[in-house]
Amino acid sequence: ELGLGWTERLHPDDVSRVAETFEAAFARREPFRMAYRLQRADGAWRWLDDQGAPNFGPHGAFLGYVGVANDVTERRRA
């Protein structure tokens, strides 16, 4: 997703940990990896394994993060 709108759907128990992880990585322009629960549009909670890497322009300007979030709900249940 673009922007931070996804954070509005974080599980309440995960909000502070996710914010701390993301803010620390963002401040240092470092990669991050974290797991958290996110609520789908139908109300179901899913566990995601989220990884991001900083993206820099040709002259070194920080452009944000490029990442992937994989649904690992079934793996966690097992």
Model confidence at 63, in pLDDT bands (50, 70, 90)?
very high
User: How much is the pLDDT for 2?
Assistant: 61
Amino acid at 23: E
Has residue 4 got a pLDDT over 80? no
Distances (CA, A) of 77 to 27, 46, 47, 58, 74: 33, 11, 10, 43, 5
Mean pLDDT throughout 41-63?
97
Has residue 3 got a pLDDT over 90? no
What's the pTM? Answer: 0.84
Q: Could you tell me which of 59, 51, 57, 53 has the C-alpha nearest to residue 29?
A: 53
What gap in Å lies between CA 48 and CA 38, rounded to an integer? Answer: 7
User: How much is the pLDDT for 1?
Assistant: 59
> Positive or negative CA dihedral for 58, 59, 60, 62?
negative
Mean pLDDT throughout 13-36?
96
